[in-house]
């Protein structure tokens, strides 16, 4: 029976085995191997299960930590990076281990549940995005690489440290975008951490290869040669090391460096950002404003004041608290203009509708995604919920401008490093098609509600005016985008600073020109500007109640 079973199993491999003793003898050797094969399978299966058990215990510990930390786990960029990176890399390993046996059913069951709950698992694209976001935060807030890797972000609570492999991953993503400045920073950090890691979380060879090429691209040939020789010494059989040593030597000769000097007088590593010397550039001003490093005029601040807005009958009973933040052009903050419950409800309504935020193409007028705007947004109209209708009526009382020609309420949620580079809200003359389809004219004014207040970062900055406004929970920032004449006010160019730690939800309302002709008429002179919201010539509320003279 055994011979029959074996022959049945093997008949397609070796035909007519019974006709030859020599072939029959081979079965003896095959039979001797069966226990070895079974034992090897058992050992592999046992090891597989042990590895799965380790992953289970690791995730259990992390779950206990998540219960303790709550949402802070995803509001800190380092923790968020580690979370996504580990979910991607660890799940690949778990999936592979489970698929080796009867895991397909379990995996299908799990992914089916994810689909039912509309859970999208992170991809490589997510990892790349969060890595680039971390680099943006590092630049904007001038964070030290080692501090970030150690889990220290300014005055935020210390979080877990990065491993060498994490630093390598960040550097690798910088490399893929040809950002060699950050590649060097993070590959150096990875190399330094590898000196202390046992076992190493990434191969030193990989780190040195990326580091050498980034140094070469920065024009640091001697240092690139030095690192490549370290790589060659570490692994003489590396496919590129030996050839690259010769290549860097040849390049140095072409630059007039004698072979005897190739390894001498290597200057200290100066790894500067490409735009570090552009002190007056918009990028430099924008980042300095985000760090709150731009000095403000004490004289200008001394002229600002707060007042109660009650120039409408309803507001006599429940006036709005207004803080003037800036004159010329006017910008104000409505304090506590919405409640905690309203802010939460807006977030709940918007969450299922969130999609990658878009910008308007200046030439075609079409909406498209862009690297300079990283957030997700949703549009809410009055019919979606009675709260939206209520907010729209409140905006009319706030601004003294009708809402019939306003855009829908846009809700935005910013992720790790989420930002919006300097831009105008209004359409300039070279953008005639921007709001053509709406038929309501240009964006006259902007109302920006702060539904949350990030722990660090996320401010609104005006690069031309060099002023900054930090998010104030339940407050609303208001400014006019156009002069009374209808001309665009270029001074209102502004940006959203990246969120360093915490969660940022905002709601935008863009009020258009049509229907506002008598509510915001032209002044007798082009230079006439508002002194306060809804200024039609009455006395300033600094000394008089803000009651309409009409």
- On whether residue 496 sits in a domain, the answer given is yes
Cβ-based neighbour number of residue 312 at 10 Å: 17
Radius of gyration of the chain (CA): 32
What is the C-alpha separation between 294 and 518, in angstroms, rounded? Answer: 38
What residues make up the domain containing 23? 2-50
- Residue 427 CB coordination number (10 Å): 20
| Measured distance CA(529)–CA(517) in Å, rounded | 15
In a domain, 368, yes or no: yes
Question: pLDDT for 325-334, tens place per residue?
Answer: 999 999 999 9
Q: What is the distance of C-alpha 110 from the center of its chain?
A: 28
Q: Who has greater pLDDT, 488 or 369? A: 488
- Of the two residues 440 and 549, the one the predictor is more confident about is 440
pLDDT by residue (tens digit) across 254-291? 989 888 889 888 888 889 888 765 566 899 999 999 99
CATH number at residue 343: 2.60.120.620
Tokens 């006599």 -> residue: 316
What's the distance, Cα to Cα, between the start and end of the chain in Å?
108
What pLDDT score was predicted for residue 15?
Answer: 41
Q: Give yes or no for a contact between 86 and 51, defined as CB atoms under 8 angstroms apart.
A: no
Q: Is the separation of the CB atoms in 489 and 329 below 8 Å?
A: yes
Peptide bond preceding 329: is omega within 30 degrees of 0, i.e. cis?
A: yes
Neighbouring CB atoms inside 10 A of 325's CB total: 18
Which residues are bridge partners to 544 per DSSP?
A: none
Q: Which of 116-125, 337-346, 424-433 has the lowest mean pLDDT?
A: 116-125
d(Cα 550, Cα 49) in Å, to the nearest integer? 80
User: Would 392 be classed as within a structural domain?
Assistant: yes
Calpha distance 358→237 (Å, rounded): 49
> For the chain, what is the domain count?
2
For residue 49, pLDDT beyond 60: yes
136 occurs within a structural domain: no
CA 320 distance to own-chain centroid: 35
Is a pLDDT exceeding 50 seen at residue 340? yes
C-alpha to C-alpha distance for 464 and 162, rounded to whole angstroms: 38
Residue 152's contacts (CB-CB under 8 Å, 6 or more residues apart) are 158
**Comparison of pLDDT for 473 and 542, the residue scoring more:** 473
Dist. CA 355–CA 369, nearest whole Å: 10
Residue that the structure tokens 């893929």 belong to: 176
> Considering only CA atoms, which of 316, 317, 322 is closest in space to residue 304?
322
Q: Where are the alpha helices (DSSP H) in 337-414?
A: 340-350, 386-399
Record the pTM: 0.82
* pLDDT bracket for residue 141 (50, 70, 90): very high
477/332 Cα distance (integer angstroms)? 6
Asked if residue 382 is part of any domain, the answer here is yes
H-run or E-run covering 61: helix 21-69
Q: Tokens representing 151?
A: 């889990």
CB atoms within 10 A of CB 466: 15
pLDDT of 512 over the 60 cut: yes
Least confident interval from 33-42, 56-65, 404-413, 451-460: 33-42
Mean pLDDT (the chain) is 85
Is 134 within a domain?
no
Residue 272 domain flag: no
Does 418 map to a domain? Answer: yes
pLDDT in tens, 210-259: 999 999 999 999 999 999 999 999 999 999 899 999 999 999 999 898 88
pLDDT band, residue 10 (cuts 50/70/90): very low
On whether the CB atoms of residues 497 and 458 are closer than 8 A, the answer is: yes
């Amino acid at each position: 029976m055994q011979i029959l079973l074996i022959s049945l199993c093997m008949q397609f491999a070796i035909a007519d085995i019974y006709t030859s003793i020599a072939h029959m003898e081979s079965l003896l050797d095959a039979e001797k191997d069966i226990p070895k094969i079974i034992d090897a399978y058992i050992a592999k299966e046992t090891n597989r299960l042990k590895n799965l058990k380790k992953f289970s215990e690791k995730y259990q510990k992390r779950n206990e930590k998540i219960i303790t930390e709550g949402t802070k786990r995803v509001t800190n960029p380092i923790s968020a990076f580690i979370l996504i990176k580990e979910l991607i890399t660890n799940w690949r390993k778990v999936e592979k281990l489970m698929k080796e046996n009867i895991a397909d059913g379990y995996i299908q069951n799990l992914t089916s549940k994810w689909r039912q709950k509309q859970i999208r698992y992170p991809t490589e694209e997510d990892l790349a995005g969060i890595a680039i976001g971390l680099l943006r935060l590092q630049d904007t807030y001038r964070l030290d690489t080692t501090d970030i890797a150690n889990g220290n972000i300014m005055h935020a609570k210390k979080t877990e440290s990065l491993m060498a492999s994490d630093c390598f991953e960040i550097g690798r993503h910088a490399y893929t975008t040809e950002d060699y400045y950050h590649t060097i920073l993070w590959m150096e950090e990875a190399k330094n951490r590898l000196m202390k890691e046992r076992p190493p979380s990434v191969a030193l060879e990989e780190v040195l290869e990326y580091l050498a090429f980034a140094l070469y691209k920065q024009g640091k040939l001697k240092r690139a040669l030095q690192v490549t020789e370290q790589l060659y010494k570490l692994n003489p059989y590396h496919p590129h090391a030996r050839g690259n040593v010769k290549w860097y030597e040849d390049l140095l000769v072409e630059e007039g460096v004698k072979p005897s000097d190739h390894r001498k007088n290597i200057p200290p590593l100066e790894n500067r950002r490409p735009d570090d010397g552009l002190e007056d550039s918009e990028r430099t001003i924008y980042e300095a404003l985000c760090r709150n490093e731009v000095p403000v005029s004490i004289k200008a601040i001394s002229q600002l004041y707060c007042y109660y807005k009650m120039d409408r009958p309803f507001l006599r009973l429940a006036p709005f608290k207004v803080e003037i933040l800036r004159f010329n052009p006017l910008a104000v903050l409505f304090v506590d203009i919405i409640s905690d419950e309203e802010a939460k409800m807006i977030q709940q309504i918007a969450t299922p509708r969130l999609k990658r935020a878009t910008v308007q193409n200046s030439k075609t007028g079409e909406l498209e995604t862009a690297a300079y705007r990283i957030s997700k947004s949703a549009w809410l109209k009055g019919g979606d919920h009675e709260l939206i209708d209520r907010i729209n009526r409140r905006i009319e009382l706030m601004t003294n401008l009708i809402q019939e020609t306003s855009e829908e309420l846009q809700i935005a949620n910013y992720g790790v490093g989420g930002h919006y580079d300097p831009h105008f809200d209004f359409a300039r003359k070279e953008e005639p098609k921007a709001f053509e389809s709406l038929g309501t004219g240009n964006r006259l004014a902007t109302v920006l509600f702060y539904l949350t207040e990030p722990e660090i970062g996320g401010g609104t900055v005006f690069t031309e005016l060099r002023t900054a406004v930090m998010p104030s929970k339940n407050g609303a920032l208001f400014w006019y985008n156009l002069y009374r004449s209808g001309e665009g006010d270029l001074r209102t160019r502004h940006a959203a600073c990246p969120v360093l730690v915490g969660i940022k939800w905002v709601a935008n309302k863009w009020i258009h020109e049509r229907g506002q002709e008598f509510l915001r008429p032209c002044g007798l002179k082009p230079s006439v500007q508002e002194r306060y919201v809804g200024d039609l010539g009455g006395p300033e509320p600094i000394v008089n109640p803000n009651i309409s003279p009409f």
